[in-house]
Chain A
């Protein structure tokens, strides 16, 4: 079977633009969750999130008339393609899979607000053209000349991980030699208000796996990877950040917002990913957890991890403790965190973790990154609708 490697990375995160800034931020354990500036939070209990800095957005090489999410996606995809040293010819045959949830909703909301308040049509109606999630793939595909299969994947908070799995399938089945895969979500009012309504947000920066955790923190990001046939990458001397070994994708079919109480779907996803990767659970040295910081998710995920890896059998940490829950981008940004952890032999920490929940029988790397050589890592992403995706990577 064709082996798939990762030959390019691109990130726009709450630390700013660039994979380097992202890695330095999480390696230092810096929490980027701060008071929200993008939208009005008056009247809401939670008023914090991890925003991409304004100066980073202002520096994007794209028209400010595009939606914030389109611009973030374009910047991250451009970085990944440059990082992989892809030529125009390479790009012309590459697939593009973009994970998205909110689309250009931030600008769509501004239009809707204005019309509702003015009581008459607003010229901002053109924002609707990019309100749907498919807008990102259209923008990235057009601007970067990607001519292979193009898809917009929506699997809630597991979308980004699914884009990687489905992109790798296209390479393994011989459809394309290259796939640009990623996820993007900008902060939106609907996301912020919705999670407030569900009472799932912590008023302080989230504390995954902490005994006193109170919920999640929202973030925004774009993260892209270039997946490539390993032989092709080797032949052209391209960079190799690691190898994609396998994926598991399952559905709980249990509840729209709550995970299966026993983590049945999560266990099946992790097990399927290990089987697809052809590695036993004991070979996994690090799990980048979904780790949202909600009491329910972390408890169920810990229980599922215990079933798959046995107590204490693996190091576990949550990137969301630093950059928040970046929705559709979460699966890709956390896959990148996993790859970089393997590459640097440094496990990024779980920030804000002071008292480990006794129901979480794992070393969750509290506060400070841990130098640890690890060969194989697993990244978990779970989403509304009981969507579960696990990915397995090997060090490059």
Chain B
């Protein structure tokens, strides 16, 4: 029933390889590094959201974000090969290198990559257009144009890491990173590669920030209440943007064992579905009838997840929708009086394409430390829904 599942010891599923997480790398507003650095940042839990420093927000309704300091990124770049990459590509390349080093993998035809992004390289798109409007067709840069296609981050990372198996980019709001991990897990299971770098990336840029604020997509969405990221809280009033890139290394269990890799966790289920909903809307009253996620959670219900990371980012409609769905589908865990909502990492890192992967990373670290499975759940405006079941390493 699942998009991908590794069901240990169950007949007929034995042919599908089990998929484990063997490394992670992240460049985010809180930290830079592999497993140790990310684990330490998660343990500290210190929010990186602060007034935007990289550009002026005068005239905007919103002024907060979780930014990656220039110095955090510059130290990770190769001056010769990376200097001409756009910033969002640099973020992706740096995080992929950290994840590959963490997992001790090298490139080749069996290494693939899946990148999830909410916005791609809009900075380059804006730069391309503005050059034309200022100086005409002669000013159009053939070097910038390829960056306007959203697979540019995956391409840059594939070149940097020599990843020559399948390379897939997924565009999705709110849960781009979750979806990238689910899809990459499926690609390993389907035999497209033995190892995949799966991650998400986005960057803050002045046009993106201003336009989203103008559209009322950021806290404070309706212009009321204090600006801030308060997922699932009664006074939540919109997301706060973050930026960065986070990647995990997903690998066939046998391959990982054969090379003596560190096994952080196993991804035993990855499902995704859709609750047909008008574009850009969230409908907390709309139930999930057909999506594989609902069926997966129904199967899960008797076992009850004791820990769940959710995609709540402070967008009231989406937060409420997620809670309503989980209360309905996992009533024992979320529907009882006093039940707590899922855990959200948005207040710490800000909303961006890498956030879903940080949820997966947090779940993997929890699963390994506490020797129990962890659920990662996500839903976005428009109805796309994901769920991952992360278990302790075998």
Contact = CB atoms under 8 A, between A and B. Distances in A.
Given A251-B164, A254-B159, A256-B156, A154 B151 contact: yes
B383 A142 contact: yes
B3 A149 contact: yes
A252 interface: yes
A201 interface: no
B171 A154 contact: yes
A369 interface: no
B159 A255 contact: yes
Interface string B291-331: 11000000000000000000000000000000000000000
Contacts of B112: 251
Given A253-B107, A253-B158, A256-B159, A153 B149 contact: no
A150 B171 contact: no
B142 A253 contact: no
Interface residues of A, number: 73
A87 interface: no
Contacts of A139: 279
B290 A92 contact: yes
Interface in B113-159: 113, 118-120, 125, 128-130, 132-133, 136-137, 140-142, 145-146, 148-152, 154-156, 158-159
Contact of A190 (B119, B129, B137, B152): B129
A170 B211 contact: no
Nearest to B133: A116
B145 to A, nearest CB: 3
Interface string A122-153: 00011011101111011101101111111111
Interface string B210-250: 01001100000000000000000000000000000000000
A249 B114 CA distance: 12
B208 to A, nearest CB: 10
Interface in A168-212: 169-170, 172-176, 190, 193-199
A383 interface: yes
A146 B154 CA distance: 28
A144 B145 CA distance: 34
A138 B382 contact: yes
A358 interface: no
B291 A253 contact: no
A22 B57 CA distance: 50
Contacts of A198: 142, 145
B275 interface: yes
B179 A151 contact: yes
Nearest to B109: A268
B150 A175 contact: no
Nearest to A128: B211
Contacts of B155: 251, 256, 384-387
Given A138-B382, A142-B383, A255-B159, A154 B150 contact: yes
Contacts of A147: 273-276, 289-291
B109 A153 contact: no
The residue among B142, B146, B163, B166 with the most chain A CB atoms within 10 A of its own CB is B166
Given A175-B3, A265-B164, A101 B150 contact: yes
Interface in B261-296: 271-280, 289-292
B377 interface: no
B278 A44 contact: no
B151 A384 contact: yes
A256 B289 CA distance: 42
A396 interface: no
B177 to A, nearest CB: 14
A162 B168 contact: yes
Contact of A250 (B109, B214, B276, B383): B109
B172 A134 contact: yes
Nearest to A111: B211
Nearest to B292: A175
Interface in A244-286: 249-257, 265, 268
Contact of B168 (A130, A153, A196, A253): A153
B149 A154 contact: yes
Contacts of A112: 129
A193 B133 CA distance: 12
Contacts of A199: 142
A294 B173 CA distance: 35
A83 interface: no
B149 A156 contact: yes
B283 to A, nearest CB: 11
Nearest to B386: A149
Interface in A286-307: none
B170 interface: yes
Contacts of B141: 197
A44 B179 CA distance: 40
Contact of B167 (A137, A151, A152, A385): A385
Interface stretch (B26-34, B184-192, B341-349): B184-192
Nearest to B84: A256
Contacts of B357: none
Given A250-B109, A265-B164, A197 B145 contact: yes
B258 interface: no
A93 interface: yes
A176 B1 CA distance: 8
A150 B279 CA distance: 13
A130 B382 CA distance: 12
Contacts of B1: 174-175
A252 B158 CA distance: 8
Given A129-B280, A133-B171, A148 B107 contact: no
A196 B169 contact: no
11 contacts: A130-B279, A142-B279, A144-B276, A147-B289, A149-B274, A151-B172, A151-B272, A155-B168, A156-B151, A197-B145, A253-B159
- 7 tightest CB-CB pairs across the interface, nearest first? A385-B155, A194-B145, A147-B290, A138-B279, A150-B274, A249-B166, A197-B140
Given A147-B273, A190-B145, A251-B155, 20 more contacts: A129-B280, A135-B279, A142-B383, A144-B276, A148-B290, A148-B292, A150-B384, A152-B170, A152-B172, A154-B120, A193-B137, A197-B145, A249-B166, A249-B192, A250-B109, A256-B152, A256-B155, A385-B154, A386-B155, A387-B151
